[in-house]
Amino acid sequence: MSYNEMAKLDVLSLVRGINSESDYLDFRNFLARYFADKAQKAIDAMWNKGEIDEGTIEEWGNTKMRTPYRHAIHRS
């Protein structure tokens, strides 16, 4: 079994215990903090290696990095 498959099973086990809006919001915030922390660690590592600087971060702040969405149904 791959790590991805094991993670999916773990997440499914966790969400079975979500029985209220408060539980759901706590879980969602936990996931957001987890991935934000991973991103921050990656950015810190890039900074420490000299791969990025203040200019890079400024550029990222001014860049639109949204995924373009295509509509499956064309409206007339």
| Residue 12 one-letter amino acid | L
pTM higher than 0.75 for the full model?
no
* Residue-level pLDDT at 74: 55
Which residues, including other chains, have CB under 8 Å from residue 57's CB and lie 6 or more apart? Answer: 43
- The residue count of the chain comes to 76
Distance, in Å, from the CA atom of 37 to the CA atom of 40, rounded to the nearest integer, reads: 5
Joined together, the tokens standing for residue 61 give: 């702040």
* Residue-level pLDDT at 61: 87
* Residue-level pLDDT at 28: 93
- pLDDT for 15-70, tens place per residue? 999 999 999 999 999 999 999 999 999 999 999 999 999 999 899 888 887 777 76
Joined together, the tokens standing for residue 13 give: 């086990």
